[in-house]
Structure 1
Amino acid sequence: MNRKLLLFASTFPRWENDTEIPRFVFELGLELRRYFEVYALAPHTPGAALSENLEGLRVIRFPYFPEHQQSLAYGTGMRASLKSNPWAYAQIPSFLFCQWMALRRTVRKYRIDVVNSHWMIPQGFIASLLPAHLPCKQVLTIHAAGLFALRRLPLGKAMAQRIVRRSDLIYSVSSYNRQVLEQLVQEPVACRILPMGIDTYYYEEQKDPAAVRAELDLPSGKMILYIGKLNEKKGVTYLLRAFHAIARERADGYLVIVGSGLLEQTLKRETRQLGLESRVTFAGQQGKDAVRKYLQAADLVVVPSIIDASGETEGLPVVLLEALASGKPVVATRVAGAPDVIVEGYNGFLAEPQNPEDLAHKIKKGLNADTEFIADQARESVQKYDWAMIGKDYRDGIFALFE
């Protein structure tokens, strides 16, 4: 009989075909079904079922406030929810208590063997409070947001030390995250570096970019693509400034921005101020199939991440892997997990963060690069991040805990 594994997360699809919520924890669960009986525990949200089966995963959602007032989780993330809605702060104590009770109840009811907590807080810390009479193994997956949130808390160091001590196995989505964690706890941490994966086969299909652009009602010319949330740490404002320099030199270049977020109106206003309205398209939030089409249409993908004013950055943007799997050259900044994946001139280019001049220089190099060579190397380099490979690593690591 397969062991029972619980995915413990604050971000999880709310219903079937949910296109607004990141799917990486869910997709990890789909891969882990090969080796485990997989459950998922996540916050409830208005309109979602309290319990359901999603593609073979048993999903349990815990309510933490009167249903139509629940506003802490989902949307653009907990931090953004707290910034935009002060009422959400009142929900934190209830959220943490209900999450802890739901975790205890779920582990006991379903006799869970392994809890895989995503984000150090709240999930990693809540899991560290499980009593000893519930002897499940604890696997921690470190994403950037929870780690940087811990760093801002007065008791963050002590909390991080407890989480690390109680974890039987730790994964970090980037080497940068491990470095930050070791600085926080002030000791070495045994940690596997493994990002969230992608289905590389899904992105391998090649189509004529001109035909896809016609389908998407995009112009001909050199298409530069950004995909992701529109918030500070994504660095899109620096991409706009870099593109402003490129647009002065190239009449055939244009920029497509796919995504939404708190800075959307600010970025649109900056686009107008730079006189780029005719050269920049804001395509809004798009589903998985549409994202693949935009990748097929693009000449180059830019991931301009930065370290924001609070000292926070990303782990490893999944879109970087999706772009490589699509055979597209990638220009990323030297922050977070990008240097773990991008090899300069081989499968992409690395620019200095918050430096529009260097970003523009690397974008121009990418547009002038040997497209066929880059495409081949990009696809080859991303194979180790296919979900099948990620799942096997989790399998091997977890199985070893029971030997």
Structure 2
Amino acid sequence: MSRCLAMHGIETSILTLDLGLTPDRLRGLGEVEVTALPCLLKRFYIPRFSPARIRELVRQADIIHLMNHWTLINAIVYTYMRRLGKPYVVCPAGSLIPYGRSQLLKRIYDALIGRAILRNASGHIAVIGSETPQFVPYGVSQEDVVVIPNGVFLDDVESTDPEAFRGRFGLGDEPLILFLGRLNSIKGPDLLLEAFIRIATRFPEYHLLFAGPDNGMLPMLTRRTIEVDLESRVHYLGYVDAQTKYDCLRSADLVVIPSRHEAMSIVVLEAGMVARPVLLTDQCGLDEIDSIGGGKVVAPTVEGLEQGLIELLSDPSNLGPMGETMKRYTLENYAWDAIGPKYIDLYSRILGSKQEP
């Protein structure tokens, strides 16, 4: 989003933690100025910061865009925005529903400052329409929430050589099922592994590739892979850069997004950009993929993913046309060229209303 705004001539800066800021990602931001705070405690994303520096960043901004919800950075920035009278918008991106660990801490956060952040915002953004009811418990009417989806840059698709990629990682010529993302419970890699185990005998030619950094699940996943004697067919690649990510996507016959909870999956759109069909759960925010014929949407369970795999792999001749459908759908609906102006319009309306007598 920031890169898109900068491309439209808007001076844009990012305040974030120094986690995952690879040279690849920084290069991808183009002219956007990035202030990365050192993370003192990864478990709770606690930053080390200079109050004077935060205050100055807030003072320089005309409008501020808060992403996510339960973060200390948002709370810190909010206190300075209120003092300086700065307008701001909030885009929780699906994070308003407490999920996973630390639910007590999240309730405390909401009671102390989280509800105020939502209630006092000048604008509220949902990335999909089904997210708008999540604002209501915070005192925000659904009618006051603007839906602006995530997007993709068409020129981000790196030129790739799937054959060389397969050779480099010893993947051979076998058909490939791809999981792309963090090995984290919320992303559901364990669900996919169990579903693959169930269909492995029925589809002995298929391999499963996990590409993405470990968030604590890798030992369990590899242990389970060894238990069922599938080490030769289940591969763990670890973190991948942008080039390797698109090598993975172009090498895949099917991309699976088995998330337990996610507002809107970018991986679905990235698969679409390279014409790959997808199997995703109904927690990914893109249920229409099923109706347009770009893949299949299932429940976020082992059984749901198992049945989805069986249906899609039983007739592999359909995978190519599904991928082409995904590409058309992605380009028509989720290119940043079309989405960026929606943000600019929202910001302009908010700033215009602040200037009215």
Tell me what 2:298 maps to.
Answer: 351
Partner residue in 1 for 2:223: 269
1:224 alignment partner in structure 2: 177
Tell me, yes or no, if the aligned pair for 1:124 and 1:140 is still in contact at 8 Å. Answer: no
**Residue 138 of structure 1, CA deviation:** 0.4
The worse-fitting range, judged by mean Cα deviation, of 196-205 and 358-367 is 196-205
Give per-residue Cα distances to partners, 1:23-73, cap 9 Å, x unaligned: xxxxx211111231112222457999xxx997322223446xxxxxx532x
Structure 1 residue 135: Cα displacement? 3.4
CA distance in 1 between counterparts of 2:241 and 2:160 reads: 19
Gaps of 5+ in 1: 1-27, 64-69, 73-77, 83-87, 307-312
Deviation at 1:234, TM superposition (A): 1.2
Distance 1:150 1:175, change over 3 A: farther
Q: Which residue of structure 1 lines up, in the alignment, with residue 264 of structure 2?
A: 316
Q: Which whole-Å CA distance do the structure 2 matches of 1:190 and 1:295 have between them?
A: 37
3-state SS in 2 of match to 1:116: strand
Q: Could you give the per-residue CA deviations for residues 289-347 of structure 1, whole angstroms, max 9, x where no partner exists?
A: 101001111000000011xxxxxx322232121011111110011114232x5234611
Change over 3 Å in CA distance of 1:204–1:286 after alignment to 2: closer
1:394 match: 343
Counterpart contact for 1:204–1:325, Cα < 8 Å? no
Distance 2:271 2:21 in 1: 33
Q: Deviations over 1:139-178 (max 9, x none)?
A: 2121344653788323525734312222112222334443
TM-score between the two structures when normalised by the length of structure 1: 0.74
- The alignment status of 1:172 with 2:122, answered yes or no, reads no
Give the corresponding residue for 1:37.
Answer: 11
Is 1:375 paired with 2:323? Answer: yes
Structure 1 position 58 matched with structure 2 position 61: no
Instruction: State the 1:381 CA deviation.
Output: 1.2
Q: 1: CA distance between counterparts of 2:146 and 2:21?
A: 37
Larger CA deviation: 291-300 vs 187-196: 187-196
The residue number in structure 2 matching 1:242 is: 195
RMSD value over aligned CA atoms? Answer: 3.1
* 3-state DSSP of counterpart to 2:124: strand
Structure 2 distance, partners of 1:61, 1:219, is 40
CA contact (8 A) 1:205 1:326 kept: no
Residue 301 of structure 1 pairs with residue 255 of structure 2: yes
CA contact (8 A) 1:147 1:177 kept: no
Q: Distance between the aligned counterparts of 2:194 and 2:330, measured in 1?
A: 29
Distance 1:271 1:44, change over 3 A: closer
Deviation at residue 394 of structure 1 after TM alignment = 1.0
Question: Equivalents in 1 of 2:157, 2:324: separation in Å?
Answer: 13
Percentage of identical aligned residues:
23
Q: Does residue 280 in structure 1 map to residue 229 in structure 2? A: no
CA distance in 2, matches of 1:218, 1:336: 28
- Find the aligned partners of 1:266 and 1:276 in 2 and give their Cα distance: 14
- For residues 325 and 117 of structure 2, the distance between their equivalents in structure 1, rounded to whole angstroms, comes to 38
CA contact under 8 A between 1:147 and 1:181: conserved in structure 2? Answer: no
Q: Is it true that 1:257 corresponds to 2:210 in the alignment?
A: yes
Deviates more, 1:120-129 or 1:149-158: 149-158
Q: Is the 8 A contact 1:194 1:390 kept in 2?
A: yes
| Residue aligned with 1:324, SS | helix
Normalized against structure 2, the TM-score is what? 0.83
